[in-house]
Amino acid sequence: MVYYTEETPGVNKRMVAGYYLFLCLIGFAILLGPTGSGIPVTLSVDRVREAHELATPDQENGVSCLTGECHNQTWEYWNMTTHSGYLIYYNETSGNVTVNGARERTYLAWNATCAQCHAIGWTPERNATDYPYTHDGFGTNCLTCHDTSTPYYSVNGSVCASCHIHEGHGGLEGYTESAHANSLTDLRTSSHAGSDCMHCMSAEGFLGYNGFFGEDDDLDPEGNYNAITCPACHAIHDAQVVNPAQIWAENSTELCGLCHGNSARHTTINVWTGGAHDLTGIVECTDCHGFVQGSHGPEMNHTFAVLPEDACGQAPECHEGQEAWAINQLEEIMSSYDALVADFEAEASALETAVAAYNATAGANITLANYVQDEIDAASTTVGYYGYDGSSGFHDPMETFDAINSAFRDLLDAKAYYYENLPAPAGFSADTLIIVGGAAGGILVGLLLGVLVGRRR
């Protein structure tokens, strides 16, 4: 190697500089590997995959994942979940198997029908050739959900669906018809799809935005992402999860509130908070939404539709023995809400049309007309806020009816102001105004009293 110094005579500086440039180019070529130079290299992801393959020689049992120093913390958390199999019991005396104490079956019957999801190493081929001994242990392990190739995990929920598909097994019945399953489809067909929506309309966006895992980046609504799938709500093994359902929150209300209550157009949790069911301190979103009686007891219908016949009366604290009364209250509140909102919208639309027509006339007092329009808009915003809640008043009837009645009164005041100060359309007299206003006021008072009487019961 020739080093250039001031004391080294006769050295060509350009040649030395060219030599070092050549070495740099070689270095870059090695780093780029197959992306530019054609020199074969081992990419980092390949080395990671090869390391997993070497560390898990027993592909059937996956025991290497559960020992050693690689994933020991993950193993500790996972071992506290029902996936680990600690709820499966084999009675050597009777030869029977029970899962979570819910049902006891003979070993042969359990092995033939349940082992494919509740045991390790079960395959259809083994079931055909090795019956009745078709599995290697109870529960699941790492390789039930993971393999050693990339990607190491997926949020599309396909692995979950392979087992959680059976009715009465905490399964996915109804999920494909749910708003969660169709979140991206609905977003893409809307007129307001944007990257901000992806925080609640995609699994990747939800997990990253809330800091569970992944990146908190703006995601393209048209990109290759997943809808709200199982991993968006459920964590399989994570230190943050300490509940039986393995959801990313302390309870379902807290989890649902991450999306259903984060803006003026997503108001559900905001309206729910302070309502009668919230104030009990024991009722969560999933107690009403999707609750259904399964073959093993209470289960979730993942449409998250309210099924009153299943939800009301499910326990002593949930109107047990008074199911008919509870369902009647639900129907009465919702029908009263719908009628009240329909009356409001009809009044608001008629007044808005009148103001617009007046504004189009020569010599119109635009300032006064705009004031009336602002009052219409403010009242409509209030009614819309409770409309976005989506419960038709049921989440908090007292607050909802009080707010909408107040908005309706403001609207009628604006209507009276308009006809007192601006020319009324032909055929509309002061007497007509009094009759219309009085009728609407009577409806409001009657509906509010009906709700109050219902609440006192």
Question: Are 451 and 364 part of one and the same domain?
Answer: yes
Residue 195, in any domain of the structure: yes
Question: Are 221 and 284 part of one and the same domain?
Answer: yes
Asked if the bond preceding 151 is cis, omega within 30° of 0, the reply is yes
Q: Which domain holds residue 349?
A: 323-456
| Phi, psi for residue 158 in degrees, rounded to 5 | -65, -35
Helix or strand (DSSP H, E) at 88: strand 88-91
Helix or strand (DSSP H, E) at 99: strand 96-99
Residue 154, in any domain of the structure: no
Question: Are 36 and 54 part of one and the same domain?
Answer: no
Give yes or no for a contact between 96 and 77, defined as CB atoms under 8 angstroms apart: no
Among the listed residues 200, 229, 250, the one whose alpha carbon sits nearest the alpha carbon of residue 209: 200
Question: Are 171 and 111 part of one and the same domain?
Answer: no
Residue 233, in any domain of the structure: yes
Residue 316, in any domain of the structure: no
Distance between CA atoms of residues 438 and 162, nearest Å: 61
Question: Are 369 and 401 part of one and the same domain?
Answer: yes
Number of domain units in the chain: 4
| Beta-carbon count within 10 A of 173 CB | 20
Instruction: Give Dmax (Cα) for the chain.
Output: 114
Task: For Cα atoms 71, 76, 82, give the angle at the middle one, nearest 5 degrees.
Answer: 120
Last residue of a domain, one of 311, 331, 362: 311
Residue 114, in any domain of the structure: yes
Last residue of a domain, one of 257, 286, 311: 311
Beta-strand pair 88-91/96-99: antiparallel
Among the listed residues 440, 418, 441, 446, the one whose alpha carbon sits nearest the alpha carbon of residue 430: 418
Rg (C-alpha) for the chain, rounded Å, is 33
Question: Are 264 and 166 part of one and the same domain?
Answer: yes
Task: Report pLDDT for 43.
Answer: 35
Question: Are 296 and 331 part of one and the same domain?
Answer: no
Question: Are 29 and 95 part of one and the same domain?
Answer: no
Distance between CA atoms of residues 288 and 290, nearest Å: 6
- DSSP string of 346-379, one letter each residue: HHHHHHHHHHHHHHTSTT--HHHHHHHHHHHHHH
Give yes or no for a contact between 320 and 326, defined as CB atoms under 8 angstroms apart: no
Residue 137, in any domain of the structure: yes
Its sign, for the CA torsion 354, 356, 361, 365, is positive
Question: Are 32 and 56 part of one and the same domain?
Answer: no
Give yes or no for a contact between 144 and 84, defined as CB atoms under 8 angstroms apart: no
Q: How many CA atoms lie within 13 A of 166 on its CB side?
A: 10
Question: Are 141 and 167 part of one and the same domain?
Answer: no
Residue 348, in any domain of the structure: yes
Per-residue confidence in pLDDT tens, the chain, 457 aa:
433 334 444 445 555 455 455 445 444 443 444 333 333 333 334 445 555 555 554 444 445 565 545 777 777 788 888 888 878 888 888 888 887 776 788 888 888 888 888 888 888 787 777 766 678 888 888 878 887 665 567 899 888 888 887 765 656 767 888 999 999 999 999 988 999 999 999 999 999 999 888 877 789 999 999 999 999 999 888 777 778 788 999 899 999 999 998 788 899 999 999 999 999 999 999 889 877 766 555 677 888 888 888 888 887 878 989 999 999 999 999 999 999 999 999 999 999 999 999 988 888 888 999 999 999 999 999 999 999 999 999 999 999 999 999 999 999 999 999 988 875 544 444 444 443 444 444 444 444 434 433 433 3
Question: Are 204 and 278 part of one and the same domain?
Answer: yes
Residue 155, in any domain of the structure: no
Last residue of a domain, one of 311, 338, 368: 311
User: What would the two tokens of residue 382 be?
Assistant: 């209030």
